[in-house]
Amino acid sequence: MKVLRWSLPLAIFLVILGFLFVGLFRDPREVPSPLIGKPAPAFSLSQLHQPDRTLTTADMRGQVWLLNVWASWCVSCRVEHPLLVDLARANIVPVIGLAYKDKRDDGLGWLKANGDPYKLSIVDQDGRVGIDFGVYGVPETFVIDKAGIIRYKQIGPLTADALKQTILPLVRELQKS
């Protein structure tokens, strides 16, 4: 009983300390997506460069691909853009660009100025498809497998570390299967 008197408060203190310490390294803005492991929402969107042509989720069946949600008005998209350009040059995985709540001309101008890393670009003018994908902070990047299942979601700008350590290994693994 005597031991409990000082060991119990100490134990409670250490547990709280542990929780707070772990909390220091977690980003509250990163909300885990419930869509991981679920089929990518079906969409049919007009292409950025050829407005009269569309791209649907079904068109991408059979290959591993990345969906990069960006916008010309999005500041942190400029941060990740050079990485996407490099990725396109390496030709490892097709990246589809989704211009989220963007005007067509703005999007086209932005790609002309900063380089176009996308195999194809589509426009989600009213943000409806963004809602279906649970997008809440641009940029976001989804890894989608051959069967059309979302396997990973990067919230916020891509980083060299995230690409090298998480996304590209996952892409390679998915491409093998």
Partner 1 sequence: MKVALLSLFAALVASSAWSDDALDARLKALENELRCLVCQNQTLADSNAPLAEDLRKEVRDLATGGKSDDEIRAYLVARYGDFVLYKPPVKSTTYVLWFGPFLLLATGVAAWWGLVHRRTRAAADSGAPGETAAAVRARELLDD
Q: Which residues bind partner 1 (CB under 8 A)?
A: 28-29, 31-35, 101, 126-127, 131-134, 136-137
Beta strands in the chain (DSSP E): 44-46, 54-56, 65-70, 95-100, 120-124, 140-144, 150-155
Q: Compute the least distance from the CB of residue 116 to partner 1, in Å.
A: 25
Q: Compute the least distance from the CB of residue 89 to partner 1, in Å.
A: 33
Q: Compute the least distance from the CB of residue 25 to partner 1, in Å.
A: 18
Nearest to 31 by CA among 141, 153, 131: 153
Decide whether 15 or 147 has the Cβ nearer to partner 1.
15
- Biggest alpha carbon–alpha carbon distance for the chain: 80
**How far is the CA of 110 from the CAs of 78, 130, 174, in angstroms?**
10, 20, 31
Please say whether the beta carbons of 71 and 145 come within 8 A: no
CA atoms within 13 A on the CB side of 46: 13
Please say whether the beta carbons of 110 and 72 come within 8 A: yes
Decide whether 21 or 32 has the Cβ nearer to partner 1.
32
Decide whether 66 or 135 has the Cβ nearer to partner 1.
135
Q: Compute the least distance from the CB of residue 34 to partner 1, in Å.
A: 4
Q: Compute the least distance from the CB of residue 117 to partner 1, in Å.
A: 25
Decide whether 13 or 136 has the Cβ nearer to partner 1.
136
Decide whether 23 or 32 has the Cβ nearer to partner 1.
32
